[in-house]
């Protein structure tokens, strides 16, 4: 209920606003949740997912969702500000707006009206941030006017205190659209021409709009180059196994099983991370350094492969109220200059020890930030010097699992 949700302290979570009713076609919310519950995540790294929508519709989807951990439902409507405040939407890491009613409307210009209204409603909300606690890695940089040298505000503690009014325009939102031309209604401060192609608009470049036509383009590109599908699978799930895809394709269900050394080895795969440059081992390159030097240092020292920059739109403007919108720069040249507010997209190895120690658990619960958004704190980067210990830990765990399986067989 709304009162129970308000009593639950939610922060750094994912809010999914869904429009639908008892007659709406199912859109398959399981496909949205599965990448956020990939096996190369430790349990404490999973972000809580809260669905806000019609109970009649969500009850039909619940059969494929109830086995996932940290998933909740708030019966209501995404247009209700009381429901949005109850789930602390101003403290979420991402808000996703979907609709199952788009195919029921014949007029193309009205197919996205619910999603657009919900997006504009959230952006116009005002929040009195009396607590003022924000995740450091959710922003990726120290907010203007914040003294990062203060012990109370240090990003190492995972918390930043910002006693100011937070507007809904700063909430990270991604809105699904059926009609590309409707993207012009998402940003009231955007002066894009209505005839501008979708991929040239600011909402698409900043990742706040996703159109169905993008999937058509990916399907066409995959037909001519099958490596694109492998790339997309790696970016979304870190690489799903063929066994899992075959199981879903044939049975359309997830079945439990025993954890064996072979199945546990599937967790040892790369994952997408976002690295901040304002602090940590890459801070020396964040202020005027070259992207090429960062690429080489990350690859040689931490075995991480950088492939893009997530930059603030107004990164070079020294304005008191800096815009929080970001855009992606893929494969920058070697001499590309970095700024401290940049976030770096990279592929990093699975860290077996991240879920072992209590200190790591406590820190990661505040500072872990994943993009797709799946990400990682720069303070939890595994060093190559710790690799022997990681190998020993994995070997001992594999032996324990093998012994347990033998006892069960006897």
Look at the domain 2-127+166-211 and name its fold: Rossmann fold (3.40.50)
- Provide the β-strand partners of residue 306: 346
**pLDDT tens, position by position, 212-222:** 888 888 888 88
Q: How far apart are CA 69 and CA 33, in angstroms?
A: 10
Higher pLDDT, 368 or 101: 101
Q: How far apart are CA 64 and CA 406, in angstroms?
A: 33
CB distance 130 to 173 below 8 Å: no
Q: How far apart are CA 347 and CA 353, in angstroms?
A: 18
**pLDDT for the residue numbered 137:** 39
DSSP 37: G
Percent of the chain predicted with pLDDT > 70: 71
- Provide the β-strand partners of residue 210: 176
Lowest mean pLDDT among 98-102, 238-242, 391-395: 391-395
**pLDDT for the residue numbered 247:** 74
In the chain, where are the structural domains located? 2-127+166-211, 217-256, 270-381
**pLDDT tens, position by position, 57-82:** 999 999 889 889 999 999 999 999 99
**pLDDT tens, position by position, 155-206:** 333 333 333 447 888 899 999 998 888 888 888 766 666 777 888 888 888 8
Question: Hey, is 164 helix, strand or coil?
Answer: coil
**pLDDT tens, position by position, 268-307:** 778 888 888 988 888 889 888 999 999 999 999 998 999 9
**Ordered DSSP codes for 59-94:** HHHGGGTTTSSSEEEEES-TT-HHHHHHTTGGG-SE
Q: How far apart are CA 202 and CA 184, in angstroms?
A: 9
**pLDDT tens, position by position, 78-88:** 999 999 999 99
**pLDDT for the residue numbered 86:** 92
Is the confidence at residue 400, as pLDDT, over 80?
no
Residue 315 burial by Cβ neighbours in a 10 Å radius (0-12, 13-18, 19+) = middle
Average confidence (pLDDT) over 343-353: 82
**pLDDT for the residue numbered 396:** 52
Highest mean pLDDT among 113-117, 359-363, 372-376: 113-117
Q: Say how many C-beta atoms besides its own lie within 10 A of residue 392's C-beta.
A: 10
Q: Which residues contact 88 (CB under 8 A, 6 or more apart)?
A: 9, 10, 11, 13
List the structure tokens of 71: 């998933």
**pLDDT for the residue numbered 143:** 36
**At 384, is the pLDDT very low, low, confident or very high (cuts 50, 70, 90)?**
very low
Is the confidence at residue 256, as pLDDT, over 90?
no
**pLDDT for the residue numbered 50:** 95
Is the confidence at residue 369, as pLDDT, over 50?
no
Average confidence (pLDDT) over 244-249: 73
**pLDDT for the residue numbered 4:** 80
Average confidence (pLDDT) over 386-410: 47
């Amino acid at each position: 209920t709304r009162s129970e949700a308000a009593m639950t302290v939610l922060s750094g979570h994912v809010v999914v606003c869904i429009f639908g009713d008892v007659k709406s076609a199912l859109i398959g919310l399981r496909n949205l949740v599965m990448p956020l519950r990939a096996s190369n995540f430790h349990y404490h790294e999973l972000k809580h997912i809260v669905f806000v929508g019609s109970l009649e519709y969500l009850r039909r989807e619940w059969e494929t969702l109830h086995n996932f951990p940290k998933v909740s439902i708030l019966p209501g409507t995404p247009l209700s500000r009381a429901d949005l405040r109850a789930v602390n939407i101003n403290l979420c890491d991402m808000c996703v707006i979907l609709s199952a009613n788009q195919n029921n409307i014949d007029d193309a210009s009205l197919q996205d009206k619910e999603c657009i209204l919900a997006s504009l409603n959230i952006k116009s909300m005002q929040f009195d941030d009396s607590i003022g606690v924000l995740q450091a890695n959710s922003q990726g940089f120290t907010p203007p006017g914040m003294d990062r040298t203060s012990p109370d505000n240090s990003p190492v503690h995972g918390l930043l205190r910002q006693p100011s009014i937070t507007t809904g325009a700063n909430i990270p939102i991604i809105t699904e659209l059926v009609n590309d031309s409707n993207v012009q209604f998402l940003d009231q401060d955007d002066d894009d021409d209505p005839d501008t192609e979708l991929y040239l608009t600011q909402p698409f470049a900043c990742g706040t709009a996703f159109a169905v036509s993008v999937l058509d383009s990916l399907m066409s590109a995959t037909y001519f180059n099958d490596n694109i599908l492998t790339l997309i699978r790696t970016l979304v799930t870190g690489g799903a196994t063929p066994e899992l895809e075959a199981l879903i394709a044939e049975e359309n269900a997830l079945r439990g099983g025993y954890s064996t050394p072979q199945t546990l080895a599937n967790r040892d795969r790369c994952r997408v991370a976002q690295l901040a440059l304002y602090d940590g081992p890459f801070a020396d390159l964040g202020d005027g350094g070259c992207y090429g030097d960062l690429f080489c240092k990350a690859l040689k020292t931490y075995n991480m492969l950088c492939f893009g920059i997530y930059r603030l739109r107004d990164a070079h403007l020294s304005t008191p109220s800096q815009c929080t919108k970001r855009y992606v720069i893929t494969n920058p040249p070697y001499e590309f200059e970095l700024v401290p507010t940049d976030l770096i997209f990279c592929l990093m190895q699975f860290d077996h020890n991240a879920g072992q120690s209590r200190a790591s658990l406590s820190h990661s619960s505040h500072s872990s930030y994943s993009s797709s958004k799946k990400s990682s704190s720069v303070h939890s980067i595994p060093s190559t010097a710790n690799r022997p210990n990681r190998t020993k830990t994995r070997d001992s765990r594999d032996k324990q699992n093998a012994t347990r399986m033998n006892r069960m067989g006897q």
